[in-house]
Amino acid sequence: MSPVDRYIEEVMRNVFATPEDRQRLETDLRSHFSEAEAEDRDPREIIDGLGTPEEVAAAFNAEREFRYAGFWQRLVAFFGDIGVLTFLAIPVLGVGMFLGVLGENPGQAAIAWIVFCVLVILALGGVFIFYFPLLESHYGKTLGKHLMGIRVLRENGAPIGLGQAFVRRLSLFFEMLWIDALFIPFTEKKQRALDIIAKTVVAREPGKDTGVGGYFLCLFLAAASFCCLVGLVVICGAFGG
């Protein structure tokens, strides 16, 4: 990949805009470099004149008006994500529960069952801790946010880093999410308290509106996963009885 292509790719990675606006920006940038090539000018001159990719993208984003996601959109997206996490946990929890209740003398397998439970807790804890930060730092959104058409960004519209993703999730890990979320209706950019600290925002995807389908799918994921979890407990209880 040429330096020009790398430069343009990095600019576009930091741009948060509609596909039409993104295409327009990319066309303008390539036009600048094509003109420079026709005049036998070094592309580095154009790059130095334009600024870093982050600066170009930030200037372009500043001309756009972000539509920040409100409390209810973010809450429904969170319910959808909890549903996803619950579905991921159910098969493992099911194996652990059945190990504990099956057999004529379950006590004989007590040590193996305890070891299994410890491993399960560690594995599920890891998934719970890393699910949000890894997806939000890599894709800008979790499955719930994708269904709701919203994305996590830096305040200037650029993608967030892993450190920012962890900082904005500390309230969830320390069970202070509801207190943190109370800031959303009262801040200009609809930020949680830790969003303000991490300098992140949650915005609606440009040119898209959250349809009824997004709300339905997220709530369905949450309700269905809860029903499956209750069903698993009932079945295991029946076998244990």
- In the chain, pLDDT over 90 holds for what percent of residues? 54
Q: How confident is the model at residue 239 (pLDDT cuts 50, 70, 90)?
A: low
Tell me the C-alpha distance between 44 and 85, whole Å. 47
Tell me the C-alpha distance between 130 and 121, whole Å. 14
73-106 pLDDT, tens per residue? 999 999 999 999 999 888 877 776 666 655 545 5
Tell me the C-alpha distance between 204 and 197, whole Å. 21
**194 and 125 together in one domain:** yes
- Mapped onto helix, strand or coil, the DSSP state of residue 152 is strand
Amino acid sitting at position 121: I
Domain end (from 23, 43, 62): 62
Domain end (from 36, 62, 88): 62
**42 and 116 together in one domain:** no
**90 and 206 together in one domain:** yes
Domain end (from 15, 34, 62): 62
H or E stretch covering 20: helix 19-38
- Mapped onto helix, strand or coil, the DSSP state of residue 46 is helix
| Beta partners for residue 144, in sequence order | none
**37 and 82 together in one domain:** no
- Residue 91 Cα distances to 31, 87, 169, 178, 223, angstroms: 54, 8, 26, 29, 17
The model carries a pTM of 0.85
164-207 pLDDT, tens per residue? 999 999 988 887 888 999 999 999 999 999 999 999 999 999 98
**58 and 80 together in one domain:** no
**50 and 75 together in one domain:** no
**19 and 47 together in one domain:** yes
Residue range(s) defining the domain that contains residue 146: 71-240
18-75 pLDDT, tens per residue? 999 999 999 999 888 888 778 778 878 888 888 899 999 999 999 989 999 999 999 9
**132 and 189 together in one domain:** yes
- The tally of domains found in the chain comes to 2
Degrees (nearest 5) of the Cα angle 83, 155, 64?
105
**109 and 225 together in one domain:** yes
Going by C-beta distance under 8 Å and a sequence separation of 6 or more, which residues neighbour residue 69?
77, 148, 150, 190, 202, 203, 204
**107 and 225 together in one domain:** yes
**49 and 166 together in one domain:** no
H or E stretch covering 208: none
Tell me the C-alpha distance between 70 and 144, whole Å. 14
**88 and 53 together in one domain:** no
CA 102 vs. chain centroid, Å, equals 39
